[in-house]
Amino acid sequence: MSEAGSSFVYVTYIRTTPERLWQALIEPEFTRQFWVDTVQDCDWKVGSSWKLMIPDGRIGDSGEVLEIEPHRRLVLSWQNQFMTEMHAEGASRMTYLLEPQGEMVKLTVTHQINRPVSKLIEAVSTGWPLILSSLKSLLETGASLEATRRWPEGK
Amino acid sequence: MSDKPKFVYVIYIASTPEKVFAALTDPDQTEQYWFGFRVGANGKVGSPRTVRNSSGVDFPNGVILESDPPRRLSYTWPPHTDQTKHERPSRATFDIDMIKGQVRLTIVHDDFDVGSRVFEGISQGWPAVLSSLKSFLETGRVSDPGWCEDSDKQPAVQDDRVRA
């Protein structure tokens, strides 16, 4: 972590293939199940706009695709769009890294911002462990965790 | 805010607090998902936390600092390799609660000195061990221990790419 920034890193190992994990991270039929009913609006090319859509039609977060290497690595710029304080922090940077290890894939999610203290990083530090735990359950058991199947009421 | 190293990891598991507590403390269960380690931590406060690796070698005993089944467990973690034996014991604490129908397991591993090598090792090891624990409880299958290639079979996989 650099002196000026803050970041959150989460590592999980999932019994799946890089192809299936990539599909689950991208495609709406999967994200709806483990990512609180959200879908991503993006055509997954470098420079493309990226939006995380809340079920009621609001944009949750948005940014663009900075780097993409299918089944291996994705880097997005990421700005919150529905909470004033977090929106004011500007863009963060989120990276997925997928590395096969035997029968498993090691998934590393790194979320960083160039601010020493960040409400956004605080929020994603709580959110990512639940979302990624649910993603692992979905790929290994066929069922996501119940708490992640719907957008939280009142948010 | 202290500069001393502190590792925090949260994982959600479709299980019950009782099953998670048992899986963390019963050597017959840890052997199945924790790189073959037999970790015994189901005694009372003050009793030893034992570890025997898959080659049958016993590591130095830790001490159980807190035990409140199935909610909370804390024990000391003595170093066990030649490279780390000069370090003092650190501390691992587990909190288990129910959030919206699934178990939230939070581990805090702290009480390290600045520059601790053990800290580097456990920061790599816990995500692998706890991912395997989740698979064990949810599917009955565990992760292939082949991805723990450390010669001491300690829960540490060296990989600089995930440093924060």
Instruction: Tell me what pLDDT residue B153 has.
Output: 39
Rounded mean pLDDT, B110-124 = 95
Distance CA B78, CA B88 (A): 7
Q: Give tens-digit pLDDT for B33-61.
A: 998 999 999 999 999 999 999 999 999 99
**pTM metric for this prediction:** 0.91
Q: Give tens-digit pLDDT for A14-70.
A: 999 999 999 999 999 999 999 999 999 999 999 999 999 999 999 999 999 999 999
Rounded mean pLDDT, B118-138 = 96
A141 has a chain B CB within 8 A of its CB? yes
Where in chain A are the domains?
6-148
CATH topology assigned to domain B9-143: Alpha-D-Glucose-1,6-Bisphosphate; Chain A, domain 4 (3.30.530)
Beta carbons within 10 angstroms of residue B153's beta carbon: 16
Q: Closest approach of chain A CAs to the CA of B82, in angstroms? A: 27
Using alpha carbons, select from B151, B73, B63, B78 the residue that is nearest to residue B118: B78
Q: Closest approach of chain B CAs to the CA of A130, in angstroms? A: 6
Q: Give tens-digit pLDDT for B86-96.
A: 999 999 999 99
Q: How far is CA B44 from CA B25, B47, B128, in A?
A: 11, 6, 27
User: Position B104: which residue type?
Assistant: R
Domain A6-148 coded CATH 3.30.530.20: yes
Cis peptide before B78 (omega within 30 of 0): no
Inter-chain residue contact B12 with A14, CB threshold 8 Å = no
User: Which residue in chain A has the smallest CA separation from B100?
Assistant: A147
Where in chain B are the domains?
9-143
Please name the residues in contact with A24: beta carbons below 8 A apart, sequence gap of 6 or more: A16, A30, A31, A34, A135, A138, A139
B102 contacts on A by Cβ (under 8 Å): 145-147
ipTM: 0.95
Instruction: Tell me what pLDDT residue B146 has.
Output: 52
Q: Give tens-digit pLDDT for A58-114.
A: 999 999 999 999 999 999 999 999 999 999 999 999 999 999 998 899 999 999 999
Q: Considering only residues 23 to 52 of chain A, which have any Cβ-Cβ distance to chain B shorter than 8 Å?
A: none
B13 contacts on A by Cβ (under 8 Å): 133
